[in-house]
Chains A and B, each alone.
Chain A
Amino acid sequence: MGKSFHTPLYPYARHPDQDASAPVRHPVIVIGAGPVGLACAIDLAQRGVPVVVLDDNDKVSEGSRAICFSKRTLEICDRLGLGDPLVDKGVVWNTGKVFFGDRKVYDFNLLPEEGHKRPAFINLQQYYLEQGLVARLMALSAEGAEVSIRGRNRVTSVTSHADHVALSVETPEGAYPLEADWLIACDGASSPTRTMMNLEFDGRVFEDNFLIADVTMQADFPTERWFWFDPPFNRGQSALLHKQPDGVWRIDLQLGRGIDKAEEKRPENVIPRLKAMLGPDVPFELEWVSIYTFQCRRMERFRHGRVVFAGDSAHQVSPFGARGANSGIQDADNLCWKLAMVLDGAAPETLIDSYEAERGFAADENIWHSTRSTDFITPKSETSRIFRDAVLDLSERHAFARPLVNSGRLSVVSSYAGIALTGPDEGGPVAGQPGRVCPDAPLTSGPLLDRLFSGFTLLTIDADAPDQVTDGALSAARLALSVSDDPTGALAERLLGDAPSAVYLIRPDQHIAARFAVFDDAKVRAALRQATGQEAA
């Protein structure tokens, strides 16, 4: 295949800002054209907010890195206008197998619930996601949106002021200053912005090394996720095999502690390990090799004045569970509508604090899961290993032990129930509880999520309501549904239950803000104010 990550996608070009006599001020600057920075830029551009992305590179990320993208990420990408090409390219999988020693102990099926437009997961190299995001961003720009990426623009200083941020940017043609009303730092796990602002990044560092190898092979392994504990070809350690598009397979081998990374990365050391795993007769080619250790840590605060951190710069997890890139995309989803409303003057600046509350909660959840998985895969004490092995031995015979096997709890979206923006709940099915993402359902007119508006949606099921609810600068547009639009019954099952009618207020990020039995103007307006940080619960 063409090594797409070697092609410059946004080569350096001199910008008039570099020749301005005074620093040019932009409403929003994003540092970093990784998945999170690009998602932020597209979301803001779609909301009419001018945005400049600065990246110290000019191409997509090297190597496949994250390969497992969750249903929620795909739904967000639908909203951002690039869901279809991702799903067309990606590999859909549902079956997983777990091996212990030299035997298979059980297999599982993700059994995705029917009636959702998107599958539970697809596997796709991170560079394809980034390519799709860059293409979408450029299409928006070609349509006239004020959005651009400046390649080989490295941010070298960040100074936060009360109402703006001042930046210095290094380019191949020298340095220039810039200013932003708001800065979103999506500059990755080793975030230079965080360092320049002297902010801490605390948590647990794990000592085990992992070898990631992407290999191309025409092998007839099925499209499944295979995970080995203590396999014969990697005694005392773990291994993972997972399929990507283009005949590429992700192999992840635990190497243990205290190894010589540079030595282990050499092809003459990698290839025998892979041969031992794949068998001597399977021809393969190395596409990308990396050795890494990982951390589970987060910043205490994601917002520092006018600087907001999102993605890996704000929080970092182990790869088990595919929570890194997926949770970062959800950060973008949460932040951008809020920032757009604040910039429009429709909501107070304190709305941005709710980003920190909601995504900080999600980060804690992700770190908790990711730490549990890591402790199961790499037990930290003899007793921990004894229990781990007992679970695996029992899982072969008894179903009860299988939920205890933890080779990564795959990313699911957090609910914001109980956090300040989430409003009243007059009852209904669990799937529709305020705080959760609105569940999808196949309506006569297409998937429900595709019909939600980019602003607030007032979703009514067999309930009377005006077409528009307004409260000062706030508004919600009505999406009138009926059980007669619901051929499979999924809408009724997920959002109506036994009630004759239901009214949902849904946020621009598709999370449910509040739900009511019938429409009540005062209650809906109060929920709208609460969901935009203007009224306490």
Chain B
Amino acid sequence: MTDLTLAPNMAAPDRSYADLIAAHEGLTKEQSDALNARLILILMNHVGDESVIRAAIDAARLE
């Protein structure tokens, strides 16, 4: 079982962040929400591991 990576891990953080923002350009709030939801599901599937997904959800809660 792998642990959730919370240390810097993106190869090109600025570019990937810019890609994310660009993907939302010109979208309505509704379209953006739908895109985000699809993106989260795709990334969840890529991660796969149940405990890593759960740890990511916990980390996102900022508790």
A contact set with B: CB distance below 8 Å? 386-387, 389-391, 393-394, 398, 400-401, 404
Contacts and interface: CB of A to CB of B under 8 A. Distances in A.
Interface string B6-47: 000000000000000000000000000110011011100100
Contact of B34 (A389, A398, A400, A401): A389
10 contacts: A386-B33, A387-B37, A387-B40, A389-B34, A389-B37, A390-B38, A394-B38, A394-B42, A398-B42, A401-B45
Contacts of B38: 390, 393-394
A400 B45 contact: yes
A390 to B, nearest CB: 4
A308 to B, nearest CB: 37
Contacts of A398: 42
A536 to B, nearest CB: 33
A390 B44 CA distance: 13
Sorted nearest first, the 9 A-B pairs with minimum C-beta distance are: A390-B37, A400-B45, A390-B38, A386-B37, A387-B37, A386-B33, A390-B41, A394-B38, A390-B34
A404 B34 contact: no
Nearest to B33: A386
Given A386-B34, A390-B40, A393-B34, 18 more contacts: A386-B33, A387-B37, A387-B40, A387-B41, A389-B34, A389-B37, A390-B34, A390-B37, A390-B38, A390-B41, A394-B38, A394-B41, A394-B42, A398-B42, A400-B42, A401-B41, A401-B45, A404-B41
Nearest to A401: B41
A386 B33 CA distance: 7
Contacts of A387: 37, 40-41
Name A's interface SS: helix
Interface of B: 33-34, 37-38, 40-42, 45
Contacts of B42: 394, 398, 400
Nearest to A403: B45
A389 B41 CA distance: 11
A401 B38 CA distance: 10
A341 B37 CA distance: 55
A81 to B, nearest CB: 44
Contacts of B37: 386-387, 389-390
A391 B37 CA distance: 8
B41 A391 contact: yes
Contacts of A391: 41
Nearest to A393: B38
A404 B38 CA distance: 12
A386 B39 CA distance: 12
A394 B46 CA distance: 14
A486 to B, nearest CB: 37
B20 to A, nearest CB: 16
B53 to A, nearest CB: 13
A392 to B, nearest CB: 10
